[in-house]
Amino acid sequence: GAGVSQSPRYKVAKRGQDVALRCDPISGHVSLFWYQQALGQGPEFLTYFQNEAQLDKSGLPSDRFFAERPEGSVSTLKIQRTQQEDSAVYLCASSRSLIPGQGRFSEQFFGPGTRLTVL
Amino acid sequence: GNSVTQMEGPVTLSEEAFLTINCTYTATGYPSLFWYVQYPGEGLQLLLKATKADDKGSNKGFEATYRKETTSFHLEKGSVQVSDSAVYFCALDNYGQNFVFGPGTRLSVLP
């Protein structure tokens, strides 16, 4: 398919477990973003990659959160020792833009998200 | 910093009613402005966008005009349909900075 895909779509974890969430961006998209969307809220920025370089991780809520994009395409968001407050939908988006906010290429295309529930 | 404020929902309208969802923003410089829509059970989709002042974005009968003087990007539609029921997010994208979303406004259209 031509869109952004994410897996798994749903994940239930016991508190303390580690989880890994995968994102396959649109082929050729340079920029990749991760967002956290709590129930009834707008998405909140977590981290941003330009190719394989993680240029901004200011939104990661704690050092339990780690993201990587080793070959500049697929990305994985890992959460260690999950807590109940980590329950949310995790969204991935990709963009052609080299720099966020760069004019006509700045549109971000979103995946369907992974709903994480921590019990 | 950058921020987006939207009118609180939920908004409930009858079919064929006129829709306005207010959005105002705070940002330095000249951000791009977007409306994204999230239908039940689906991911975020771009509805429309405007990249400079006085631009009008439009799609599927929805319109929004980038008003720099009032720092607003209100979403309008002349006649809503049941299929427009969704959550609508206003967002901004500023050069070299993070994408910022509003909290979303849930729209329910009744037949």
Query: DSSP letter string over A28-88?
Result: T--EEEEEEE-TTS--EEEEEEETTEEEE-TT--STTEEEE-TTSS-EEEEESS--GGG-E
Q: Do A102 and B101 touch (CB under 8 A)?
A: no
Residue of A57, A107, A114 best to disrupt the B interface, most CBs of B under 10 A: A107
Nearest residue to A97 via CA among B93, B86, B78, B30: B93
Of B31, B49, B96, the CB nearest to A99: B96
Rounded CA separation B111/A42 (Å) = 27
A25 secondary structure, DSSP code: P
Nearest residue to A70 via CA among A100, A32, A109: A32
At residue B9, the pLDDT reads 85
At residue B19, the pLDDT reads 97
The pLDDT confidence band at residue B33, using thresholds 50, 70 and 90, is: very high
Q: B11 forms bridges with which residues in the sheet?
A: B107
Whether residue A97 is predicted with pLDDT greater than 80 in this model: the reply is no
- Looking at the complex, report in whole angstroms how far the Cα of residue B49 sits from the nearest Cα belonging to chain A: 8
At residue A100, the pLDDT reads 54
| Chain A residues with beta carbon closer than 8 angstroms to that of B34 | 107
